Structure 1
Amino acid sequence: MTDNRYIIINKARRAGISSMMLARAIFDAVRQPNSNILIVSYEGDSAKALFNTLKFMNENLPRVKYPNLFPDTKRDNKNELLLENGSRVVSTVAGYKDIGRGMSISWAHLSEFAFYSNQEEQLLSIEQALIDKGRISIETTSAGINNHYYKLYQQSKRGNSKYKNYFIPWFHPFYRESKKGEYDEAEQWYKAQTGDRLRKKDLNEEQMRLYEQGANLKQLMWREYKLQDMKIEEFYQEYPSNDMESFISTNRSVFSQEKVLERINYVMPDIPLKELSGVPDSLQKYIGKELKIFHEFNPKKRYYAGVDVAHGSGNGDSSTCTIIDDEGVEVASLGTNKLPVYQFADVLYDLLMWYGQPFTAIERNNVGIVLIEKMRDEYQLMNLYKEKLFDQKGKRKSQLGFTTTVHSKPILLEKFKEHFERGYILLNDTETLEQMQIYQNVNNKMGNKQGTDNHDDKVISASLANLAKDQNKWYI
């Protein structure tokens, strides 16, 4: 954790990370003369508590025993600790003014960053004040998805940021000493309820998953104890076992957060290129990146695909394709925002042919009609979804693709929601599930409204794949 200059730590509550970082601040101040260390808190009481802890650590250094190792304290006031070796530790509160202006910061630690106002501006100000090889550490519990922290963490998680992400689950060894009293109390409660303490042979599927990830039996009894007075979604938010649980938001969620998170915990990994057979040359460079393969083509099965197409400018929404088999299992997921429509069409065609030309529903809005025409006219694909409409004379007609309107979109998504939550379809793509987690219904408008750079393209393609399967049609 200390090997990276930029780190971002997502944690459950009261993990002791702040104390560890304060100890590191004292260590650096003592061992590296003329260090300038900045400790930033989200509000005054927190800043006071953190700085008092740091000063307590400083006051209890064994200076008498090791006078040549630990420099004396030169100044100790409300917001500043200055040592005789020139090192300085400053405590401040995140506000609306630039932090760190005029300083030459060797290390900045940002505590509970998700609760800052103007997060992006504050972080940029601190980054500009760093000296060469200076460091920034961010540690925080999550505060939903409508903030810069969520965006930064997700970018870090996907390797698109200079920050290295870490996650501290509620059962991490950090907690075992600080919560010892609560754990003992929970064990006594559990014994009173069941007549015995929890044993490995008694674990249900969810408990076994947590046990295999590192939770001990006493911690699992504590979890049952806490759930007596909390909904499972509330427990996820306060005591997450993985980073996506920490961002749970249930007030406006379209999809069951419990179902989505449960599936995230059990998704299968995609198959690496070296283990796949018969991959078209044109697709090989996308495997494991834009294209995830979960099951290879089986000639005994039928497949169904949903496609949502975007401009491919390199920014914004992606062009996506979800393929499921006739049992509802997701076998492949494609997503890229770097290919213009004509290039995406080439990749999509090769993917569809590799899976035996699935029955495919393409959203026809905007550039979708361009893709549909290319699939039918240039590639001669016949196994395409058609929607039925009435013309002005009252005659029924059909047209290729699915038109998304304020009326059709809720119906499409409600069917997808029902089939997912009832277990009729099994999703394997983590990115799709993550988009479902932040999918909102705001004033009867559905989409990933909260936060910047949050997309719903894979939700739409998965919904269209479900629609295609539900049609029970085949044109080839």
Structure 2
Amino acid sequence: MNDEEKFLKVWNDPALFSYNFMEIQDKNDELVPFKFNKLQRDFMENMSRYNIILKSRQLGFSVMICAYAIWLAITTPNSNCLMLSYNDESKRAIFNKLKQIYKSIPEEVKPKLLRNNRSELQMENGSIISCSPMGNVDKGRGNTCSLIWISEFAFVKSDVAEKQILSLEQALNSKGKLIIETTANGLNFFHGMYIKSKRKENFYKSFFYNYLDGKEMFLEQYEEARDTWKNLHNNVPFSEKDLKDDEKELLKNYPNMTLDVLCWRRLKIENSSEDKFNQEYPISDDVAFISTGASVFDNKRVSTVLQSILLNKTKYLKKLEIEDLPQELEKFYGRSFFMYKSPTPKAKYYIGVDTAEGTKKDSSTCIVLAEEGEEVAMFKNNAIKPWQFAEFVNILGRYYNKAYLVVEKMSGGHSVIERLRYEKQYLNMHKYKSYDEFNRIVYNIGFDTKSKTKSLVINDLREMFEKGQLLLHSAEILEEMKVFEISDNGSMGAMSGYHDDLVMALALAIVGLKSHIYYAW
């Protein structure tokens, strides 16, 4: 490879360009070549057009994206890079990083600056890098951008974030990149975007980086924590006998976890709280999001169970593992319908059924519970019509040994009950007693959800969950439990913008389980 080829290789690679031409301050405030770390390289090599990054603090993403913007502006004339953050102070910090990195580049490599003010670098090659807080002004309008970066997006007010994001997406040029990068900040608009990206329900590619991924960035802090522990404990080092149960699980489940890291984690938590630590330094993306409202379910237990499901890589049964799966169930399998256990002969099963209208808003859901409280199957679909759902529930119930059905009556539930009972002759269904105008007893099929009955069934669910009497396999149920709250007036339900269809189906299945009724036919 001749010199020209070597130069072009460096010129066309942001990581090589940064290492050869840029300098940053190290921990001793000395200027050193900017060499991308493992996480920075991973993102650069795998980013897409639309990217969303959830991360631990202090992993070096801000300085990496600043370097990428400068590389893009220098190597691609007439580039427009828009750098956004949640407030003025954060914007100033980003712009100062930009200027420091740009200043470190050799004069013969970088274009001269035509403008260098408090928020913009304009180069003589026509490229512009501008920094701005998000605010209420439409940032995307009138721009055609090669790069848009939103730093700490989770801290932007949800109404502003929702308003701005569509405009910013439209402002990208044909080869442009949009990067959303942030630590978590509760259950807000960013949380919804990130969860959808994980499920591939939007066109963003999701990335998650925990504090172990960037372990080398914290080495001095680990050493300081180790020394602090010894000073507090008569010079006795932190050891395995000091570990709590959750710390033992972390040591067992994460190969690069060490006692030094756990000592640092322990002291960080003691200085604030476990919830705060998990938000700032998440080990997994599911523990990063903390509900700030009046959660009905214990956040710590929800996060622990969810983490266990993800760590154990709980998977639904493969089609080949299931015998005699009816065609009506098979056509939904792996998309809307998932089984964790096949039906056992003579076993009793209880199915909670929550019906929606099939308009792609709320979802029609089923949870199948075994008699011991284990979730054995789950269905969730937001497009299925009530009459189609009735067909599905009929086959599902019969497949699970003519299971006991608890069907919620609201929305399309009446239609589902009518079809199941009178058209399909399904007899093993929940009933409740009421009185007519002549004080005669009337038995009604289904479950009538009112504020009082909803409170009762949700509290039954909460009790069984917190006592460890439920074995759940679907991560989506736990995600709904995280956003299930009680309002000031006592009503229960999902936070605004979220859903609770699976939670309600689970609560209905527990109604059946606790009734100890099973009609044979």
What is the TM-score normalised by the length of structure 1?
0.93
Closer/same/farther in 2, CA of residues 250 and 206 from structure 1, 3 Å limit: farther
Amino acid at match of 2:152: E
Residue number in structure 2 paired with 1:460: 504
SS of residue matched to 2:224:
helix
Matches for 1:176-325 after TM superposition, within 5 Å: 176-177=216-217, 179-191=218-230, 192-193=232-233, 195-199=236-240, 204=245, 206-209=247-250, 212-213=253-254, 214-267=256-309, 268-313=314-359, 315-325=360-370
Write the distance in 2 (CA, Å) between the matches of 1:323 and 1:157: 25
Residue number in structure 2 paired with 1:62: 106
User: Deviation at 1:473?
Assistant: 1.0
User: Deviation at 1:205?
Assistant: 5.0
Closer/same/farther in 2, CA of residues 392 and 189 from structure 1, 3 Å limit: farther
Closer/same/farther in 2, CA of residues 404 and 167 from structure 1, 3 Å limit: same
User: Deviation at 1:71?
Assistant: 3.0
State the percentage of identical aligned residues: 34
The reply on whether 1:44 has 2:83 as its aligned counterpart is no
Q: Could you list the runs of 5+ residues in structure 2 that have no partner in the other structure?
A: 1-42
Write the distance in 2 (CA, Å) between the matches of 1:293 and 1:253: 29
Write the distance in 1 (CA, Å) between the matches of 2:276 and 2:151: 22
Deviations 1:192-245 (A, max 9, x none): 449333349967455433653343332211111122233333332232222222
Deviates more, 1:33-42 or 1:82-91: 82-91
Deviates more, 1:424-433 or 1:385-394: 385-394
**Residue 253 of structure 1 contacts residue 440 of structure 1 at CA under 8 Å; is this kept in 2?**
yes
Matches for 1:124-139 after TM superposition, within 5 Å: 124-139=166-181
Write the distance in 2 (CA, Å) between the matches of 1:282 and 1:114: 42
Deviates more, 1:161-170 or 1:198-207: 198-207
Closer/same/farther in 2, CA of residues 71 and 200 from structure 1, 3 Å limit: farther
**Residue 211 of structure 1 contacts residue 217 of structure 1 at CA under 8 Å; is this kept in 2?**
no
Matches for 1:17-166 after TM superposition, within 5 Å: 17-63=61-107, 67=108, 69-117=109-157, 118-147=160-189, 149-166=190-207
User: Deviation at 1:131?
Assistant: 1.4
Write the distance in 2 (CA, Å) between the matches of 1:10 and 1:137: 11
Residue number in structure 1 paired with 2:36: none
Deviations 1:118-176 (A, max 9, x none): 112222222222211211100112222233x2222222111111111111223322x53
Amino acid at match of 1:10: L
**Residue 207 of structure 1 contacts residue 220 of structure 1 at CA under 8 Å; is this kept in 2?**
no
Amino acid at match of 1:154: I
The reply on whether 1:363 has 2:408 as its aligned counterpart is yes
Amino acid at match of 1:89: I
In the alignment of these two chains, the number of paired residues is 466
Closer/same/farther in 2, CA of residues 404 and 206 from structure 1, 3 Å limit: farther
**Residue 10 of structure 1 contacts residue 140 of structure 1 at CA under 8 Å; is this kept in 2?**
yes
Write the distance in 2 (CA, Å) between the matches of 1:11 and 1:211: 22
SS of residue matched to 1:86:
coil
Write the distance in 1 (CA, Å) between the matches of 2:223 and 2:362: 50
Deviates more, 1:164-173 or 1:209-218: 209-218
Write the distance in 2 (CA, Å) between the matches of 1:376 and 1:200: 60
Amino acid at match of 1:46: S
Residue number in structure 1 paired with 2:378: 333
Alpha-carbon RMSD across the aligned residues, in angstroms, is 2.1
Amino acid at match of 1:435: E
Residue number in structure 2 paired with 1:383: 428
Closer/same/farther in 2, CA of residues 423 and 203 from structure 1, 3 Å limit: closer
User: Deviation at 1:21?
Assistant: 0.8
SS of residue matched to 2:270:
coil
Closer/same/farther in 2, CA of residues 30 and 217 from structure 1, 3 Å limit: farther
Residue number in structure 1 paired with 2:30: none
Deviates more, 1:135-144 or 1:324-333: 135-144
Amino acid at match of 1:170: Y
Write the distance in 2 (CA, Å) between the matches of 1:210 and 1:16: 25
Residue number in structure 1 paired with 2:457: 412
Write the distance in 1 (CA, Å) between the matches of 2:281 and 2:461: 29
What is the TM-score normalised by the length of structure 2?
0.85
Write the distance in 2 (CA, Å) between the matches of 1:202 and 1:181: 22
Deviations 1:22-70 (A, max 9, x none): 111112122222211111111111111111011101111133xxx2x43
Deviates more, 1:117-126 or 1:334-343: 117-126
Amino acid at match of 2:334: G
Closer/same/farther in 2, CA of residues 209 and 303 from structure 1, 3 Å limit: farther
The reply on whether 1:13 has 2:57 as its aligned counterpart is yes
